[in-house]
Amino acid sequence: MDTKLKLLAIETATEACSAAISVNGEISVRYEFAPRQHAELILPMVDQLLAEAEIKLANLDALAFGRGPGAFTGVRLATGVIQGLAFAADLPVIPVSTLATLAQGAITESQTLISAIDARMGEIYWGLYKVNQHNIVMPVGEEQISKPALIHTPGGGQWYGIGSGWQTYHEILQDKLKTQLIGFSGERYPHAKDIITLAIKDFHDGKAVSADAALPVYLRNKVTA
């Protein structure tokens, strides 16, 4: 991890609300499972982290946020908050996939992961990831939204499932994947500390954008909270 990069990240795309800050290689976090309370929680979390790190917002190198997919209101909240902070402090922003963040948090379970978030309306947001030599998840194909029974993996292989989609639709997903599935955890949620890891890589890969270009990803035209 880049110990020189000073970075703040937020994640509000699911029922869990979190923020994390990395300063001098030290990561501090705030996390709370609090459905529908993110709007009240996220800015106080940010303020607490900045105060504890004894750093001003403007002295950070960049901001990062979970760009979705996820709950419409949560993704929209993270986007609005991070744009506001970025405009105020004139900082670049790194949008990070919520599905990738979820997978990054589970790399100790497997090197091949299927992130799945309950998208309501009988569907899931899902993506496939493999862990590279630097312990960073890399996407295998595009992020998708579909009925759980339509999930598929290229070339077979064995996979570990992570996320709320597995909690809601584990029977369908298990039946679909059969022996390809080596296990799953449906009670895991994306965490801002894992955004930090992915955002550092993306920052060095030149993927930071201006505040007005920090856009959400919903994957469906018809959204639900």
Domain boundaries, the chain: 7-97+190-213, 99-185
Distances 21 to 65, 67, 120 between C-alpha atoms, Å = 12, 17, 31
Confidence of residue 222 (pLDDT cuts 50, 70, 90): very low
Do 96 and 143 touch, CB atoms closer than 8 A? no
Statement: residue 79 has pLDDT above 90: yes
Distances 222 to 63, 143, 149, 168 between C-alpha atoms, Å = 28, 17, 20, 20
Looking at residue 154, what is its pLDDT?
87
Q: Determine the average pLDDT of the residues in 100-118.
A: 97
Q: Which of 193, 213, 195, 215 is nearest to 203 (CA)?
A: 195
Quote the DSSP letter at residue 3. Answer: S
Looking at residue 223, what is its pLDDT?
46
Mapped onto helix, strand or coil, the DSSP state of residue 110 is coil
Question: What's the CATH fold of domain 99-185?
Answer: Nucleotidyltransferase; domain 5 (3.30.420)
CA 60, CA 45: separation in Å to the nearest integer? 16
Architecture per CATH, domain 7-97+190-213, reads as: 2-Layer Sandwich (3.30)
Q: Would the pTM count as exceeding 0.85? A: yes
